[in-house]
Structure 1
Amino acid sequence: MTAPTPRRAVLVAALAVATAATAATVSGGSASAAAPPAPRGPGRTVDNRFWHSYEHWRAGIHQGTTAVGGARPGLEIKTPAGRTEYADPHTGRKSTWEYATWTSPVHRSTVPATEAIASWNARTPAGSWIRIELRGTYADGTATPWYVMGRWASGERDIRRTSVDGQTDGRSTVWTDTLAVDAPASGLRLTDWRLRLTLYRTPGADRGPTVWLAGAMVSDVPDRFTVPAAAPSGRAHELKVPRYSQEIHTGRYPQYDNGGEAWCSPTSSQMVIEYWGGRASASALNWVSPEYSDPQVCHAARSTYDAAYKGCGNWPFNAAYAATYRGLAGVVTRLGSLAELETLVRAGIPVITSQSFLPGELTGAGYGTAGHLMTVVGFTAAGDVVANDPNSPDNPSVRRVYRRREWENVWLRTKRHNAAGKVVSGTGGVCYLYAPAAPSAAQVAALRAVGVLESSR
């Protein structure tokens, strides 16, 4: 069974407490007597904005950065804006870096939001790294601080990739990879936001990082224990995605999130990376014991490990890892229905989903979890979900078929009861999408249909 995620469990508890406390204040009575928040009107509950084209990178405010063209446009350092020291809290090393920054245009969200999750895709050669920050504006016109959403490098030589704990202004807080409004029941929302990217390199170096994609998903998913059922398409469709078990790695490299028992996220990522043809080089895997099968799963765990979170389940770190493979892009988003997920699978795009459930809530799973990633690879003619579930004893048993209505609910709900009967949060449709950076026409149409790509590219 996938181990509970400590800091994400803290987010669940904090949001539940804040929501209850605010509801009690608004109603003037106890939390149990409080009226629920007013229902929201119809429409999307998720808004995505990702910068990835040459025109995108030319926009915004450049301080030492420049847009670069080519087959995969990006952002690079042109002339450093200055030098700075960074003391790595996880190694104790202090180093001097040249840096340059890019600040995105302000994006006014179509969804006044309670949460934001950033994504980025980048190449960080030796002697370089990047910092990703997000600043939002509340509905009253005041702004959040510049919140650090990640300090990231693909390797470990220069810095330890890390989220940043303890960031709050008393109205919103960053919980590992998610910026969340502290008391959503109060009506407080984020109405717009922008990113700031800082690119670092060794002083005097000719080249540094290249950022190919950056952006965020913001959302305001209504509180719900059950979700409306989406009608199945009636067509069976299954993608041939490699099958990997996390459980065969139990006990291996416990320094990375206690070993394979907790590796559902990188194991799922590796399945989809290899579906798209991504392969780790022999040199990248030479640190893994030759006695271990599927060394690329160990490599994925090491490459997604968040030194502050002390785990491999940082959502954007997984998407960023996927994009280190040639020609791949990766983002974190939310989908609004099982019909949207079917749209992607029919276009050839497997989807990595995050869900939580009690034993017995998902027939055939054989376990319960406070948070688990699996890969949806298809649907039966009846609409049941075909998933590669890494919480399986071996690779051949990874393929599972889950009942449509059960699976739909445990993935899309935002509230549930845990084993102690306490109300806790669900993920509300969170997923990772990995697809070619130059997608086919059918894939573009599917990504537009679910709101991940803008209407014109």
Structure 2
Amino acid sequence: MSRAEQPSRRSVLTAAVVAAVAGGSAPVSAADTSADAEDPVQTLAPTVDNRAWTAYADWGGGTAQGTRAVAGARPGVVIDAPAGTVEYTDPHTGTTATWEYATWTSPVHRLSVPATEAIASWNAHTPDGTWLQVELQGTYTDATDTPWYVMGRWAAGDQDIKRTSVDDQSDGKSSIWTDTCAIDDPSTGLRLASYRLRLTLYRKPGTTSTPTVWRLGAMGSDVPDRFTVPASTPGLARELIVPPYSQEIHRGQYPEYDNGGEAWCSPTSSQMIIEYWGGRLTPEQLAWVDPSYTDPQVCHAARFTYDHQYEGCGNWPFNAAYAATFQGLQGVVTRLGSLADLETLIAAGIPALTSQSFLSGELTGAGYGTAGHLMTVVGFTADGDVIANDPASPGNEAVRHVYKRREWENIWLRTKRHNADGEVVSGTGGVCYLYFPAHPSPGQLTALAEVGVR
């Protein structure tokens, strides 16, 4: 995301929420004593629901049209006998091609937290000549249904189609903002009560190639409007050794992938955690990168997370899907509730990639303000302060930062803030990417379950 304190492309994700707050129409939550006052809030009830389909039994359920479940160490779903053919015109190249397709539709998942937002994520292998589409259909609390919303058209590579989100999807009650399905006016009380996901797998006609999808799910959330969040009590002193990479050394590189520098915080942070888990790119994979560029793997991450509609590398599910292209890794997008959740993960050896926005004076030692920025949390000091690999640093040697716990927790978890002009704008509400082994250890499984991820 952009470091600059200006409206980012993602700032529209919660524009409806912010408009309601600014207009005074948002309800006052029990956890927020004033819709516009920056007062401390009470401990929140659960605000996030995660559901993922990963097991062989999962893929054997749902509704299959031309797909079949496959067993093994990492169960998944593949094309069996195509359900038909379809023409797809790539909006970013103008090329029209015919594709065989097959679909798998999940059972309905009833949200334990009726949601104002839902974000899908997936982990898959798409060999050359294949790609996939993920759609979501929700049912509102008024018992009506959303359309089938496209949450992403994705391939690990970029030779067959251009990886893309889809704009201009709305039914007057909810809309798609890049990678997020959001209720247009949460102040009405309308929520998503349930959803199902539809996966469409594509391949070139006459071939036997197929995508393999190992994980498909979504995170639904209803995070109350808040300028401040409860302060958590420090409970861990530990630091994970995560490679430090600077996005700033890539400034001006590859304009076709948003020009490096401040635009590459998400892929730079993703690459840090991928390499922490042992993910490595081969010289052959990196051969396309200008050999004069330092850390070519960051350039690679930018290219292969790039969303051609969003025109940037900050599509959250695309980053998680990129991480899962590395053998033995999986990735999800979720929201967490406090720094205690991050401590639980760090204690189990799992770093986290977090999204936050702030003014230059709100995070001591950062030296910048941002409308949306990703960094990697790698540990906590004995005093409970946050140790973060912040890619918004002039060089790799400067990436490690220690940020004050209270400041950092608030800028990450709040949903409302004031920008430099004093206007009420949105915060990210605890958005987090988690990358972890395809086969976590018992301790890692416990930690992930404690933060709502399975």
Fold shared by both chains (TM-score > 0.5)? yes
2:215 match: 213
2:136 match: 134
- Structure 2 CA distance for partners of 1:2 and 1:242, relative to 1, 3 Å: same
Look up the SS of the partner of 2:207 in the other structure: coil
Deviation of 1:192 (Å): 0.4
Q: Distance in 1 between matches of 2:427 and 2:352?
A: 18
1:79 match: 81
Q: Do 1:251 and 1:261's aligned partners in 2 also have CA atoms closer than 8 Å?
A: no
1:30 match: none
Q: Please point out which of 197, 200, 204 is paired with 1:198.
A: 200
Query: How much is the aligned-residue C-alpha RMSD, in angstroms?
Result: 1.9
Look up the SS of the partner of 1:433 in the other structure: strand
Look up the SS of the partner of 1:263 in the other structure: helix
Please list, as runs of the form range in 1=range in 2, the aligned pairs for 1:311-390 lying within 5 A after superposition: 311-390=312-391
Q: Distance in 2 between matches of 1:426 and 1:318?
A: 20
Q: Do 2:22 and 2:424's aligned partners in 1 also have CA atoms closer than 8 Å?
A: no
Deviation of 1:180 (Å): 0.3
Deviation of 1:22 (Å): 8.2
- Structure 2 CA distance for partners of 1:177 and 1:40, relative to 1, 3 Å: farther
1:350-404 C-alpha deviation (Å, 9 max, x unpaired): 0000000001100000100000000000001110000000000000110000000
Q: Does 1:184 align with 2:168?
A: no
Q: Distance in 1 between matches of 2:335 and 2:111?
A: 15
- Structure 2 CA distance for partners of 1:35 and 1:297, relative to 1, 3 Å: closer
Q: Do 1:23 and 1:34's aligned partners in 2 also have CA atoms closer than 8 Å?
A: no
Deviation of 1:16 (Å): 1.6
Amino acid at match of 1:195: L
Q: Distance in 2 between matches of 1:356 and 1:423?
A: 13
Q: Do 2:35 and 2:225's aligned partners in 1 also have CA atoms closer than 8 Å?
A: no
- Structure 2 CA distance for partners of 1:22 and 1:134, relative to 1, 3 Å: farther
Look up the SS of the partner of 1:23 in the other structure: coil
TM-score by length of 1: 0.94
Deviation of 1:18 (Å): 4.4
Look up the SS of the partner of 1:169 in the other structure: coil
Amino acid at match of 2:237: A
Please list, as runs of the form range in 1=range in 2, the aligned pairs for 1:123-272 lying within 5 A after superposition: 123-233=125-235, 235-272=236-273
Residues matched between the structures, number:
444
Look up the SS of the partner of 1:301 in the other structure: helix
Q: Distance in 2 between matches of 1:102 and 1:91?
A: 28
Amino acid at match of 1:264: C
1:299 match: 300
2:67 match: 65
Q: Distance in 2 between matches of 1:346 and 1:217?
A: 23
2:31 match: none
Q: Distance in 1 between matches of 2:141 and 2:15?
A: 25
Deviation of 1:148 (Å): 0.2
Deviation of 1:196 (Å): 0.1
Q: Do 1:67 and 1:74's aligned partners in 2 also have CA atoms closer than 8 Å?
A: yes
Q: Do 1:74 and 1:213's aligned partners in 2 also have CA atoms closer than 8 Å?
A: yes
1:424 match: 425
Q: Do 1:22 and 1:186's aligned partners in 2 also have CA atoms closer than 8 Å?
A: no
Please list, as runs of the form range in 1=range in 2, the aligned pairs for 1:70-109 lying within 5 A after superposition: 70-109=72-111
Q: Do 1:304 and 1:321's aligned partners in 2 also have CA atoms closer than 8 Å?
A: yes
Q: Distance in 1 between matches of 2:319 and 2:375?
A: 13
- Structure 2 CA distance for partners of 1:167 and 1:231, relative to 1, 3 Å: same
1:32-60 C-alpha deviation (Å, 9 max, x unpaired): x9999xx9995210000011111111110
Gaps of 5+ in 2: 29-33
Q: Distance in 1 between matches of 2:337 and 2:14?
A: 20
Q: Distance in 1 between matches of 2:282 and 2:43?
A: 50
Deviation of 1:257 (Å): 1.4
